[in-house]
Amino acid sequence: MDRTVVITGASAGIGAEAAVELARRGDHVVLVGRNPGKLAAVVDRIRADSGSTPDSYVCDFAVLADVRRTGDTIAAAYDVIDVLANNAGLIAKKQESTVDGHEVTIQVNHLAPFLFTSLLLESVRAAPEGVIITTSSAAHTHGWLDPDDLDFQRRRWSRWRSYSDSKQANILFTTELTWLLRQSSVVATCFHPGVVRTDFGDSTGLFRLAKKLSPIGFVSPSQGASTLVQLATTDAGRDIPGGYFDSGQVSRPTSRAVDPDLAERLWTVSASLTAP
């Protein structure tokens, strides 16, 4: 393959595993991550494993100016991006706002990827068969997202509520993006990676305890990355534009997560909140 694949959240977990596998298959991988040391370690791992040297960019999705700078830089560097994998994400330990004034989970998991995608969209559209993949979660089933209150100014906040809302937002984003790209060759999909044995979610004691006491049901990072790799390398997503996948198979999200009116409202609000 002679493709360019951009992966966010690539310094650890399923993002790193997907990057290693795609590089092994011959893709030129562009890594985006927050931690410079971890990102460098993934670069070294890919170089040792496949002989190729990926490009890497340090970017903090909790700072929209950083997202804009990195997105502009990557867009200038690559006229064509074949695959964009929006994989960066977190579960916040406590309620806090970013420097941009947004609840941190909704910004890192939704607003920043929304902005990042908008900055790279023309490069993806330039690909013969561009693909945009967003890492969502089965947690979306517990979401009750309100586009007019993304930052929990009127609703009671909890870490799981904000996380579930953000994962619902990922599917709504995919739904509206699919509609907007319906006359192009670009396909957008999203997926649930499973409950992965990584340090993701370790800011919450309950998550740490569950992994320690009941490891059954957790999947390895490489297993969690398998659906991302599948959607990046096969026609599975192209056959079902806007599809939500789980364990490599198309799955059915909640009706609210694919509500076209809610998806359009969220898109309009997100565009306003991420405007320069």
- The stretch 141-149 carries a mean pLDDT of 96
- The DSSP result for 200-267, as a single string, is TTTTSHHHHHHHHH--TTEE-HHHHHHHHHHHHHSSHHHHSTT-EEETTEEE---GGGG-HHHHHHHH
Task: Please write the tens of the pLDDT for every residue from 255-272.
Answer: 999 999 999 999 999 999
Parallel, antiparallel or unpaired: strands 244-246 and 249-251: antiparallel
DSSP designation for 133: E
Please give the Cα distance from 12 to 197 (Å, whole number).
Answer: 11
Dihedral-angle region of residue 143 (phi above 0 means left; psi in -120 to 50 means alpha; beta otherwise): beta
**pLDDT more than 70, % of the chain:** 91
Measure the CA–CA gap between 276 and 272, rounded to whole angstroms: 9
Report the alpha-carbon distance of residue 222 to residue 237 in Å, rounded.
Answer: 20
Angle, to 10 degrees, between the axis of helix 221-233 and the axis of helix 13-24? 50
H or E stretch at 130: none
Residue 147 gets which letter from DSSP? G
Domain range list for the chain: 4-273
Mean pLDDT (the chain) is: 92
> On the CB side of 13, how many CA atoms lie within 13 Å of its CA?
27
Q: Which of 3-7, 142-146, 178-182, 203-207 has the lowest mean pLDDT?
A: 203-207
Sequence letter at residue 106: I
Question: What's residue 256's pLDDT?
Answer: 96
The residue-averaged pLDDT of 180-202 equals 82
Range in 33-42, 52-61, 190-199 with the lowest mean pLDDT: 190-199
**Secondary structure (3-state) at 73:** helix
1, 224, 102, 243 alpha-carbon torsion, rounded to 10°: 70
User: Does position 211 have pLDDT exceeding 90, yes or no?
Assistant: no
Q: Which amino acid is at 180?
A: L
Dist CA 247 CA 95 (whole Å): 31
Confidence of residue 88 (pLDDT cuts 50, 70, 90): very high
- The pLDDT of residue 36 is 98
Specify the pLDDT at position 1: 56
In a 13 Å sphere around the CA of 99, the CA atoms on its Cβ side amount to 9
Collapsed DSSP state (helix, strand, coil) of residue 138 = helix
| Residue 103, pLDDT score | 98
Active site positions, annotated? 163
- CATH code reported for the domain at 4-273: 3.40.50.720
Residue pair 42/31 in contact by the 8 Å Cβ criterion: yes
Provide mean pLDDT across the span 96-105. Answer: 98
Residue 209 has pLDDT above 50, yes or no: no
Of the pLDDT bands very low, low, confident and very high (cuts 50, 70, 90), residue 207 is: very low
Other Cβ atoms closer than 10 A to 131: 24
Q: What is the pLDDT of residues 221-246, one digit of tens each?
A: 889 999 999 999 999 999 999 999 99
> What's the whole-number mean pLDDT along residues 35-58?
97
| Residue 216 pLDDT > 80 | no
What global pTM score does this model have? 0.92
Q: How confident is the model at residue 212 (pLDDT cuts 50, 70, 90)?
A: very low
pLDDT, residue 168, reads 98
| Choice between 146 and 198, residue whose per-residue pLDDT is larger | 146
Q: Would you place residue 58 in the very low, low, confident or very high pLDDT band (cuts 50, 70, 90)?
A: very high
Task: Supply the pLDDT for residue 199.
Answer: 56
Tokens of residue 248, six digits: 């490599």
Average pLDDT over residues 42-58: 97
The pLDDT value given to residue 197: 58
Determine the number of helices (DSSP H) and then strands (DSSP E) in the chain: 10, 10
